[in-house]
Structure 1
């Protein structure tokens, strides 16, 4: 049971004296491989079509210079974040994507690999990115500093964006839900309608944030080619 408002975000809480909070991250690993030995269902067909759409979009973002098969990295990233975002919408399930330990673990290695690959293989191209085209000579030192800082904070912005959006909606749902016992029957009916509307909004946010994370990662990788 939740003891306070923030317990759903607390990794140290437990269920029946078992620390199973991070288990929700691994549940997708047990569910996804079933498509390899079962007959395709409607769910599989819909997901395959969805993956093909994502593949085509990421391929356009990566441009022709992208390596073959690199889109599957970002499709897998999108799928994992989407699954964990939706798992957090269920009651009493630990919201893993609301923690920087989870989102930074995804963003930081990706950004580091892009930077290492770019600076080793396309050094001149990476230096060109530090000074936008048409910059006056007197502003070039300032632009280099600004572009360097904006490049360094990219993994942090990716991680914080995902984490903050997951925390904000869940806290709003919890705050409104905790006011229920002190309300009249009429107000509770209105509260239920509002909670359902917010839950639908959170479902949309779960999809949008996973898509934004994957698309921005794709754009960052396209800059190093």
Structure 2
């Protein structure tokens, strides 16, 4: 019996003395050899086109001054998040991206590395970035405080945005699924259609949230270069 509404998302499954829920986070690595076949599959060709499209877009956002191959980090980040989001839609598979332990572990090191690189190598640019262009002199001190707070909360907003969007849909699907045995048989058809539509929406959210996380990380890195 659940102790609270969110306990269904807790990693409690045990396998040989270890928590097996987090195994879904990296189990996709087992399927990577399929990408190295002599004749690539349709899935491999589709994924290659997606990666090339993301590379062009991320390279445009970072700018021409970026180091070669710098977009690979953000493409890998997008791939990891989207894989875990989609895997979480499978029944009885733990969604690691619905926990702050996972999302904050992705967002905080990225933001910290960007900040350290910017303040060490482009100190004057980072100070200038705290005061937007055209700010009246009387508001400069106030704008510095606002920009500092907005920079500090960036990893938190990245992590909470991803976790909240993933857990909200899962929670709604769980609540609707639990009402199935208690409602009249005439309403089961409506409930099933609603669940299918909600699952379709969650599939779109899984891909969109991975894209948003990667795009925002790219934009944050472009500010310090």
For the aligned pair, the TM-score class normalised by the smaller chain equals over 0.9
1:167 corresponds in structure 2 to 167
- CA shift, 1:121, in A, is 0.7
Gap change, CA 1:140 and 1:33, over 3 Å in 2: farther
Q: For the structure 1 residues 138 and 203, does the alpha-carbon distance in structure 2 shift closer, same or farther, using more than 3 Å as the test?
A: same
State the 1:36 CA deviation. Answer: 2.4
Q: Give runs of aligned pairs for residues 1-225 of structure 1, distance below 5 A.
A: 3-4=1-2, 5-14=5-14, 19-37=19-37, 39-225=39-225
Cα displacement (A) at 1:39: 3.0
The Cα of 1:214 is off from its aligned counterpart by 0.1
Cα distance in 1 for residues equivalent to 2:156 and 2:89 = 24
For the residues of structure 1 that align with 2:63 and 2:71, how far apart are their CA atoms? 11
SS in 2 for 1:223: helix
Deviation at 1:146, TM superposition (A): 0.5
Structure 2 Cα separation of the partners of residues 37 and 166 of structure 1: 34
Shift of 1:37: 4.5
Separation in structure 2 between the aligned mates of residue 148 and residue 129 of structure 1, nearest angstrom: 10
Query: TM-score scaled by structure 1?
Result: 0.95
Report deviation, 1:12. 2.8
How many residue pairs get aligned? The number is 223
**CA distance in 2 between partners of 1:34 and 1:116 (Å):** 38
Q: Distance in 2 between matches of 1:15 and 1:67?
A: 43
Change (3 A) 1:41 1:99: same
Unaligned 5+ runs, structure 2: none
CA shift, 1:143, in A, is 0.4
Query: By how many angstroms is 1:89 displaced?
Result: 0.6
TM-score (norm 2): 0.95
1:33 shift after superposition: 3.9
| Aligned-partner Cα distance in 2 for 1:125–1:9 | 43
1:17–1:90 distance in 2 versus 1, CA, 3 Å: farther
Residue 221 to residue 91, structure 1, CA distance change in 2 (3 Å)? same
